[in-house]
Amino acid sequence: PPPSTAPLDLTGRSISDSPSAVLLPPTPASLRRAADALRRGEPVAFPTETVYGLGANALDPEAVRRVFSAKGRPGDNPLIVHVTGLQMLRGLVRSVPPAARALAKRFWPGPLTLVLPRTRRVPDVVTAGLPTVAVRVPDHPVALALIAAAGVPVAAPSANRSGRPSPTRAAHVADDFPGLLVLDGGPAHHGLESTVVALGDPPRVLRLGAIPFEELRATLPGLVVATRARARAESPGMRHRHYAPARPLVLFRRSRVAALREALAADPSALLLCANADAPLFPGTRPVRLGGEPPQIAHGLFDALRTRRRGSVLLAYALPRRGLLRAVMDRLERAATRVV
């Protein structure tokens, strides 16, 4: 079952008299307030170009533990540490191999996460005890200003209850965490999480994401996409159920148009999720349209999974596995209760 969205007290104070989240426009004053909260060990939600993050001071194990418990995140699923630039990694990672440096030079700030050997300064709770730490520089002025103002690296998973779709708007964060301080930066630009790359021989994509594999390979020709088994072994987050909407989601392969039409005919209360271009395949339905071009589809996915439109079940029509849509398909498959 999806996790409940009962109010949470993330601040240590009672929130019974303030049941709604505190959405703050990213003014200098609210950035200072959020940075102070981070330094005091309190979690803060902030916008990035991928999705909203739930941040904590990465050097404060107690603060990081609060993020895990607020999300209900399994302790074996490590967090990504957000920094303002390569120089902020000093003391956190033991080395930056040349391939990582080349990728960072080309894609940072941006939705690329690099898995690097860590030092002892990074608390075990951040990396779930792994000898490596995942790091990235977000391409968002509010995220960068917040990290700079706090003066500490910020460990941040997506700001959703564990297992739920990632939040692409401040209101999604408020739905999952009433009472939480949220810097509202408007809708996230990509709406899809970062691509996670482990250096090694060969370098591997552990999680597909907002930077398409083909683009990364143009900088690093030896790069491969890790097999599912390998990704699960090396990236604990890939083992867990993710992105689940509040009702069942059945994903239909592209070859199963007829089966999907039948399912829609059999259950008039079913909601169809599909790319704009595929909508004409299902006449007589009012689909939740994901978008037209791949960036819009990627952007529309998590919003669609949180749709408030009525319907007993979500039926999704698969997307062609190319470029950015390959990452969208990864999310749909992990969100699905069943694949037909």
- Compute the least distance from the CB of residue 81 to ligand AMP, in Å: 8
Residue among 169, 193, 186 nearest 324 (CA) = 193
Unique residue bearing structure tokens 């408007």 = 186
Q: How many residues bind ligand AMP (CB under 6 A)?
A: 21
The C-alpha atoms of residue 219 and residue 107 are separated, in whole angstroms, by 10
The C-alpha atoms of residue 187 and residue 200 are separated, in whole angstroms, by 35
Polymer length of the chain: 340
Site string for ligand AMP, 45-84 (x = CB under 6 A): --------------------------------xxxx----
Q: Is 196 in the site for ligand AMP (CB under 6 A)?
A: yes
The C-alpha atoms of residue 126 and residue 180 are separated, in whole angstroms, by 21
Q: For ligand AMP, which residue of 157, 191, 203, 291 counts as binding (CB under 6 A)?
A: 157
- Compute the least distance from the CB of residue 166 to Mg ion, in Å: 5
Give 112-173 as a DSSP string: EEEEEEB-TTS-HHHHTT-SEEEEE----HHHHHHHHHHTS-EE--BSS-TTSPPPSSHHHH
- Compute the least distance from the CB of residue 60 to ligand AMP, in Å: 18
Q: Is 235 in the site for Mg ion (CB under 5 A)?
A: no
Amino acid making up residue 276: N
- Compute the least distance from the CB of residue 158 to Mg ion, in Å: 3
- Compute the least distance from the CB of residue 266 to ligand AMP, in Å: 35
DSSP-derived 3-state class of residue 233 = helix
Q: For ligand AMP, which residue of 15, 22, 134, 328 counts as binding (CB under 6 A)?
A: 134
- Nearer to Mg ion (CB atom), residue 90 or residue 241: 241
Q: For Mg ion, which residue of 57, 127, 158, 195 counts as binding (CB under 5 A)?
A: 158
Judged by the rule CB under 5 A, the positions of this chain that interact with Mg ion are: 158
